[in-house]
């Protein structure tokens, strides 16, 4: 590249690009915004270095900006991820396609599998054995036309809204329903939430359909460590549901949230307490003692789009108005969020 690559706020972009650039025989430099430059990249730097790429990064080779000197072909690898991560796994799958031989990527728990589903549609040879992905290297892919369905993580905010606002019924059409992406629906059903999914078709190995949600009387539940990889972006919304549910809602094994755009565990606990919600911070999650309906107040977004949107949803049935500072950060992932909120 003739210039520095800027991933802005996107952890997915910087990690997947790292896998691609590691297999290119030239030097690249990639950076991001203030938030992204605080997020650890050693989890991709370490395995990609084992494949033959060279990295230089801040903070003892951990944080962006980082320079990548790639090589082609890369060396194949058998690598066990210390933490289940769809981003890291996908970076290594992409790098594996640029390697000479067979690579194996092993996760401790299953994470989202969009990459494994999509790449075979382009002609890639992959094999899945339990939590292991086997990638056959030195392949040529064929271009395809892609239809991108609605993002389930974005839809989750309005699914949650439909559950907690009395008298609601919301239909969300053409949503991606990847089984590794819709873990929140299992949690909602355990909590007694009335939600139905209607799968209509499969596009490039991804199921797509409609979601119908109605306001419901919720009860508390426990979310285990094993569930976290398939609902990690929706954990702040589980706190929202817990505030409107009867009994305790417990989330454990979510320490990965502490190194997202913000420390999302600390953020949601701190801001919920400002609104009078009875919530306890844990090292790897939280406990909400419900029902504990939010009061009116002013809260901080931490410049984190998911925290801002979760607080907005929490405020829909609060006892008074909830104001969010730096609410414009939602544009990072969902520019139309406030417009859709106003239309409901």
Low-confidence ranges of the chain (pLDDT < 50): none
> What is the reported pTM?
0.91
Give the pLDDT confidence of 57-93 residue by residue, as tens digits: 999 999 999 999 999 999 999 999 999 999 999 999 9
H or E segment to which residue 19 belongs: helix 11-22
Task: Give the integer Cα–Cα distance in Å for 225 and 231.
Answer: 11
233 given a catalytic annotation: yes
| Tokens 């919304």 belong to residue | 237
What's residue 169's pLDDT? 98
Instruction: State the alpha helices, DSSP H only, in 152-263.
Output: 152-164, 183-190, 235-243
Residues of the chain with CATH 3.65.10.10: 5-136, 152-338
What's residue 139's pLDDT? 86
Task: Give the integer Cα–Cα distance in Å for 344 and 341.
Answer: 6
Count of residues in the chain = 344
At the top level of CATH, the class of 5-136 is alpha beta
**Which of helix, strand or coil describes residue 293?**
coil
Task: Give the integer Cα–Cα distance in Å for 326 and 300.
Answer: 7
- CA atoms lying within 13 Å on the CB side of residue 10: 16
H or E segment to which residue 341 belongs: helix 337-343
| Active-site residue identified among 151, 174, 186, 233 | 233
At the top level of CATH, the class of 152-338 is alpha beta
What's residue 340's pLDDT? 96
What's residue 298's pLDDT? 99
């Amino acid at each position: 590249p003739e210039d520095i690559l800027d991933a802005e706020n996107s952890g997915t972009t910087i990690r997947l690009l790292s896998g691609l650039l590691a297999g290119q025989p030239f030097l690249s430099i990639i950076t991001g915004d203030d938030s992204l430059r605080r997020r650890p990249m050693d989890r991709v730097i370490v395995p990609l270095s084992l494949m033959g790429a060279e990295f230089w990064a801040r903070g003892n080779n951990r944080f962006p900006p980082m320079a990548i000197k790639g090589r082609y072909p890369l060396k194949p690898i058998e690598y066990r991820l210390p933490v289940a991560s769809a981003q890291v796994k996908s970076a290594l799958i992409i790098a594996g396609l640029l390697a000479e031989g067979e690579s194996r990527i092993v996760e401790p728990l299953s994470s989202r599998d969009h990459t494994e589903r999509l790449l075979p549609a382009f002609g890639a040879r992959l094999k899945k054995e339990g939590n292991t992905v086997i990638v056959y290297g030195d392949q040529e892919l064929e271009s395809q036309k892609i239809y991108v369905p609605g993002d389930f993580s974005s839809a989750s905010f309005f699914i949650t809204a439909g559950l907690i606002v009395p008298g609601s019924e919301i239909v969300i059409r053409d949503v991606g329903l990847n089984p590794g992406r819709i873990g929140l629906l299992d949690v909602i059903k355990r909590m007694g939430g009335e939600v139905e999914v209607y799968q209509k078709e499969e596009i490039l190995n991804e199921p797509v359909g409609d979601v119908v949600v109605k306001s419901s009387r919720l009860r508390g539940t426990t979310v285990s460590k094993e569930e976290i990889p398939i609902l990690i972006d929706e954990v702040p919304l589980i706190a929202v549901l817990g505030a409107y549910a009867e009994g305790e809602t417990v989330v454990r094994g979510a320490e990965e949230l502490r190194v997202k755009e913000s420390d999302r565990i600390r953020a949601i606990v701190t801001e919920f307490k400002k609104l009078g919600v009875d919530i306890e911070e844990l090292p790897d999650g939280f406990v909400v003692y419900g029902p504990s309906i939010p009061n009116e107040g002013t809260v901080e977004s931490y410049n984190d789009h998911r925290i801002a949107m979760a607080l907005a949803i929490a405020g829909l049935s609060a006892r008074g108005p909830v104001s969010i500072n730096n609410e414009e950060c939602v544009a990072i992932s969902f520019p139309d969020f406030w417009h859709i909120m106003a239309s409901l």
